Amino acid sequence: MDLFAGHLAVLPLFRGLSPLQLAAIARRAERVAYSPGAVIIEENALAEAAVLIVAGSAARVSGPELLGRSEPVVAGSLLGEAAMLVETTYGSTVVARTAVRAVHITRDAMQEQMLQDPLLADRLVQNLAKRLTAFADELRRVDTLLGKEAAAAKAGSAVLEAPAKAPASKAVTPVA
């Protein structure tokens, strides 16, 4: 359980939780073992729990922004994080490559613990808010960069597209 609590303590969602709160999460978690080739989570399947990979290796084989045929999933990875807090589906499929030891942190167990320990719920909300703020800041930064690139491209194309102006001719005023 100490190994599991240690994995939890370093995850952004659980930062700042007390050792007692981490131990309570660990006590409620369900220990699971997966054989090589077993599906750990499946894309679009109903998600009842987040899955923390404690030992072994796995691979993400489907899901958004998958680079290549698979991507490694290492010990310490938390899969389907939202599932322990809200009703959702898994966004990817992850398959065990070696024997994998994992824990399921179920939504029911987390909700029960948050009801018993409102400070836990407060800390989770604070951590989620920090992450959402950082995400929004990153989106604003990207938007600014894209805006500057678009403006530069537009200015560059305007220079290329501007018709060459003919020299002004002198007007001749008739003399009466």
Range of the domain at 47: 2-118
- Is 56 contained in some domain? yes
pLDDT value at position 9? 85
What pLDDT is recorded for position 84? 93
CATH of the domain at 94: 2.60.120.10
Higher pLDDT: 176 or 90? It is 90
In a domain, 165, yes or no: no
Would you say residue 125 lies in a domain?
Answer: no
* pLDDT attached to residue 159: 59
Instruction: Tell me if 103 sits within 8 A of 4, measured CB to CB.
Output: yes
Using only the alpha carbons of the chain, give its radius of gyration. Answer: 27
- The model carries a pTM of 0.74
Q: What is the pLDDT of residue 165?
A: 56
Q: What is the pLDDT of residue 99?
A: 97
Instruction: Please enumerate, as own/partner, the contacts of 66-69 that have beta carbons within 8 Å and a separation of 24 or more.
Output: 66/92
More confident residue, 37 or 139: 37
36 lies in some domain: yes
pLDDT at 162 > cutoff 70? no
A 10 A CB-CB count for 117 gives 16
User: Is residue 60 domain-resident?
Assistant: yes
Evaluate whether residue 18 is within a structural domain: yes
* Contact indicator for 88, 106 with CB cutoff of 8 Å: no
Query: Is the pLDDT assigned to residue 171 strictly greater than 80?
Result: no
- Choose among 95, 90, 45: nearest CA to 70: 95
Average pLDDT over residues 8-20: 90
Across 109-131, average pLDDT: 90
User: How many domains are there within the chain?
Assistant: 1
- Amino acid identity, residue 173? T
Per-residue pLDDT of 54-79, as tens digits, reads 999 999 998 888 878 889 999 999 99
Residue 172, pLDDT score: 54
pLDDT band at 168 (very low <50, low <70, confident <90, very high): low
- pLDDT of the residue at 5: 73
